[in-house]
Amino acid sequence: MSSFAIIALFLILGRWAAEFWLTRLNERYVLAHASEVPPAFRDIIDEPTYRRSVDYTLAKSRFGNIADAFDTLLLIVVLFSGVLPRAFDVWTGQFGASVGSMAAFLFAIGVALSIPGLPFDWHAQFKLEERFGFNTTTMKIWLLDRVKGLLLAALLGYPLLALVLKVIEWTGAHWWLWAWGIMVMFQLLLMLIAPALIMPLFNKFTPLPDGGLRERLFALAKRTGFPTRSIDLMDGSKRSRHSNAFFTGFGRFRKIVLFDTLVAQLTEPELEAVLAHEIGHYKKRHVLKLLSVSITGSLVAFAAIAWLARQEWFYRAFGFEFHSNFSAAAIVPALLLFALLSGALSFWLTPIINIWSRRFEYEADAFARQTMGEPQSLIGALRKLNQKNLSNLMPHPLYSGFHYSHPALLERERALVNGL
């Protein structure tokens, strides 16, 4: 095993060990506060519901540890057993090394690596979520979702891969800039078409019925200068009793979406406050800022892949032959290996991203408070959402830093009350 392969193995195991330690730390912290409802939450949640939230948190955590251990073991086997270069050689021997063949190889590897995770997905939905009363999905819907996802990946992902690989062959040394540009354009196109063409494949969207709530929410959108043509109800209840709200798309395709479960759980003032929070993200340009980070990150990633694609030691470390040209067959191993290895590095950047994301949440909360003229409507909504979703009310601060893109309930309440 080469020096770099050993380093890569330690990075993968280091990420797994850190994640395992964080989850165990969080479990102990939750258990330390499990005997009774902490004083800060006694006017928010009753004892039986709090106990169920503790059980739900621990069940998800323990199952997550098992799934993560399996994923890590699978990744190690795939990277270091030699199966990838053998599969690559067999594929090119059977189907050649054309752009179309190489795109199909990447797609096939992606599908193959997703299959072992299906039993875990099934267990999470039909055992864990079912046990705590959240699952409303049927086996038919679950299977159809995966078939639709596979077909979408084939219809959108394969042509995209083929285009990127063709551009690599056309543009030579600067291929990574062109490939990055294509990915950015695809990302923007997806944001444009997803609300109208993709999301309806999985959920039913119906206009919010006429009445007081619709009038209230459209008045809020007008008052805050949020351009929208539609406020839709999404049938989230056909899959889960969890609830959410969001806005999606841009330009004339922008629309506000409320889960039907959310509308059933909250009062009209609380729903207005939740929508004001979502509008706050728009008014503070959080989506554009996050998009800029994503675009910059993808540029760095393509630059890294381009550099690695010129390093013979990188290819040799995982059993691939090195070719110093810009053919699709020469670049595909670097693309594949980077995709598999990147998680071991990006994990350590998560707290930085979460700090930024939490700041956005505070800003959106402050906007909602200012728009509503009082904090209680949003506080009431947040309390109900945490209660109904059995959220972990006592996450360990270090675990929260790695896993929570939103501040904990008490932190948000404190900021809302103090006008921070």
Q: How far apart are CA 103 and CA 155, in angstroms?
A: 12
Query: Which residues fall within 8 angstroms of residue 102, CB to CB, at 6 or more apart?
Result: 161, 165, 328, 329, 332
pLDDT band at 252 (very low <50, low <70, confident <90, very high): low
User: What would the two tokens of residue 153 be?
Assistant: 């990946």
Domain spans in the chain, listed from the N-terminal domain onward: 3-200+289-351
Predicted confidence (pLDDT) at residue 110 exceeds the cutoff of 80: yes
Q: Contact 409/382 with Cβ under 8 angstroms?
A: yes
Q: How far apart are CA 217 and CA 194, in angstroms?
A: 23
Mean of per-residue pLDDT scores for the chain:
94
**If you ran DSSP here, which 8-state letter would residue 209 be given?**
P
User: What would the two tokens of residue 52 be?
Assistant: 């169920």
Instruction: State the chain's maximal CA–CA distance in angstroms.
Output: 68
pLDDT at 396: 96
pLDDT at 420: 64
* Angstrom distances, CA of residue 352 to CA of 32, 169, 203, 286, 411: 28, 36, 33, 16, 18
Q: Contact 272/216 with Cβ under 8 angstroms?
A: yes
Average pLDDT over residues 158-171: 95
Global pTM value:
0.92
Average pLDDT over residues 51-78: 97
pLDDT band at 312 (very low <50, low <70, confident <90, very high): very high
pLDDT at 372: 95
Percentage above 70 pLDDT, the chain: 99
pLDDT at 47: 92
Instruction: List residues with catalytic annotation.
Output: 278, 365
In degrees and rounded to multiples of 5, residue 36 shows phi and psi of: -155, 160
Q: How many CB atoms lie within 10 A of CB 237?
A: 15
Predicted confidence (pLDDT) at residue 50 exceeds the cutoff of 70: yes
Average pLDDT over residues 145-163: 96
Q: Contact 116/48 with Cβ under 8 angstroms?
A: no
pLDDT at 229: 78
Query: Which residues fall within 8 angstroms of residue 391, CB to CB, at 6 or more apart?
Result: 53, 385, 409
pLDDT at 251: 65
Query: Which residues fall within 8 angstroms of residue 52, CB to CB, at 6 or more apart?
Result: 132, 390
Predicted confidence (pLDDT) at residue 228 exceeds the cutoff of 90: no
Would you say the C-alpha torsion 363, 274, 415, 418 has a positive or negative sign?
Answer: positive
Q: How far apart are CA 202 and CA 147, in angstroms?
A: 11
Rounded CA Rg of the chain: 24
Dihedral angle at the C-alpha atoms of 214, 216, 217, 219, nearest 10 degrees? Answer: 120
Q: Contact 208/214 with Cβ under 8 angstroms?
A: yes
Average pLDDT over residues 16-32: 97
User: Cα 236–242–243 angle (5° rounding)?
Assistant: 70
Task: List pLDDT tens digits, range 340-380.
Answer: 999 999 999 999 999 999 999 999 999 999 999 999 999 99
- If you write DSSP's letter for every residue of 311-322 in order, what string do you get? -HHHHHHTTPPP
